[in-house]
Amino acid sequence: MQVPYKTMSIFGDAQLFRDKLENGWLGIGGVILSDVAGSGSLRSTKVYGSLAYHQMLGLSSLVSAGFNVGWANKRIDLSQLTFPDQFDGKFFDHSIITPDHPVFASTSISYFDIQAGMNYAYFPTTDIYINAGYSLHHVNRPKETFFADAICLALPAHASSHLVSQLDPQRARADGRHPAPHSRLIVILHP
């Protein structure tokens, strides 16, 4: 690839109603992502907003559920692309179009996207943290293609889950001379 891949992002999140809800709170967040890739300047812009509810269960457990809604746009500059059938032996001629040349229905597409998920965290001591979650991506199966005759027009809905177990890396050994070894187990499952 002659043109480097560039990405930019801005994001933020906040807690709401922490003092108003008993042992719970709302979390809100947002992100804007922008990518540019390749000689065809494939551009991707995504804007997402998230809302989640978090509820403490006793003193050592937390359950969370939330969703994410976003808008995505992808566009490409066809004048910057060359294809093998456009090579005339010396140069690439953009005016050459053959039956093998890809036919683009559009150079810009936009769609809405929805995600949802749940998470459980267990922290019985200050040294132990166990976290498990499950999420569904592309719940609404948005269409993402530049081609009119594409066989697969929709992003597949899929699920993912994770399990994280961690011991506190800051805890000192019993002799007090060295930090305890950091222990962490991460398992990510994709069906």
Full 3-state SS string of 48-86: EEEEEEEEEECCCEEEEEEEEEEEEEEECCHHHCCCHHH
Which pLDDT value is given to residue 172? 36
Which pLDDT value is given to residue 144? 83
Which pLDDT value is given to residue 165? 72
Which pLDDT value is given to residue 177? 42
Taking the CA atoms of 65, 71, 76 and 77 in sequence, report the sign of the dihedral they define: negative
Residue 37 tokens, joined: 């890739």
- Structural contact between residues 44 and 86, judged by C-beta atoms closer than 8 angstroms: no
Cβ neighbours around 175 below 10 Å, total: 6
**Residue 83, by phi and psi: left (phi above 0), alpha (psi -120 to 50) or beta?**
beta
All residue ranges of the chain with pLDDT < 70 are 1-3, 39-40, 98-101, 149-154, 158, 167-191
Structure confidence by residue, pLDDT tens digits, 96-146: 776 666 777 888 999 999 999 999 998 888 778 888 889 988 888 888 888
Residue 189 tokens, joined: 């499952």
Which pLDDT value is given to residue 155? 75
